[in-house]
Copies of this chain bind each other. A is one copy, B any other.
């Protein structure tokens, strides 16, 4: 039987609290369904820096590379605001993405019916919202060189970052977007700034070619990224799949997440290319939210995004579609029953803590 080995990187802030609820769910699945998951814990982010001076150790990187999937919590906090750039908490996440070649970041923005009212947007604008942002994750300005600060003398410095995209990188990420669109509403919107950026010109060109060559059955639109951001706020339901680069994807997926009423709800999957022999993709799953240091350790963090990330793991890494559906239904059921963590609390609902929320979801599973 194929292994189901999960490497768990809870990280900092609310990461460990949220991960603890996933661990309970994994145990329950092993006990009740004989799912056969094995797990091991590692360190990433500030806690890894504290333990061994790097945002992730080489030993943990090796474990991440060898695992069938990685579950990642969140990193960072004011404690590490002044550590050197190269070992800042985020460097651990960026190394995982780069070394595992996780080029495809899938960020669904789904509005749970029970939460439509808690969005800052009007209910009719977000109710039933279901869009998927496909963000390129190993290229662009995040990794391009030169990336440096130069001392020019006279008290002047120069900060430089480089946005770089090659044809093959745009081809493979748009391929993922088109494939996923076929399982949804068959509509892809590609976003760049071709009116200002040469990488945007190339992006537009390659997406258009890829579409023509292999995916002409899918509806394709192009939008400038700034206009796309506006349209997300104006009428997000016009979108099905959005494909965009690393930096625009960072901004646009956070905005899309916020439309749904709570960033504490939303999962993401970061996938590599299928292995030529085994067909397996390297994969990392993480909530869209950050480490929320202000509420860490209080037992009030919302574990749903982390649990929903595990559901994506079941679906994409293990083909356990039924189980993934059951986790997602359990989340919806608990929300329908009126349970809310503090971040999504509203009148007439029952406020619960992290552990109670996790227990309730497992009970409904």
Contact = CB atoms under 8 A, between A and B. Distances in A.
Contact of A202 (B157, B167, B250, B258): B157
Interface stretch (A147-155, A268-276, A294-302): A147-155
A33 interface: no
Interface residues of A, number: 59
A203 to B, nearest CB: 7
Interface stretch (A61-69, A120-128, A328-336): A120-128
A202 B161 CA distance: 11
Interface string A238-262: 0000000001101100110111000
A45 to B, nearest CB: 11
A349 interface: no
Given A160-B198, A166-B157, A233 B233 contact: yes
Given A122-B121, A259-B233, A161 B226 contact: no
Contact of A120 (B121, B156, B199, B290): B121
A164 B168 contact: no
A229 interface: yes
Interface stretch (A9-17, A21-29, A189-197): A189-197
Contacts of A165: 158-159
Given A120-B125, A149-B201, A163-B163, 7 more contacts: A147-B197, A149-B202, A158-B165, A159-B201, A160-B199, A193-B250, A247-B247
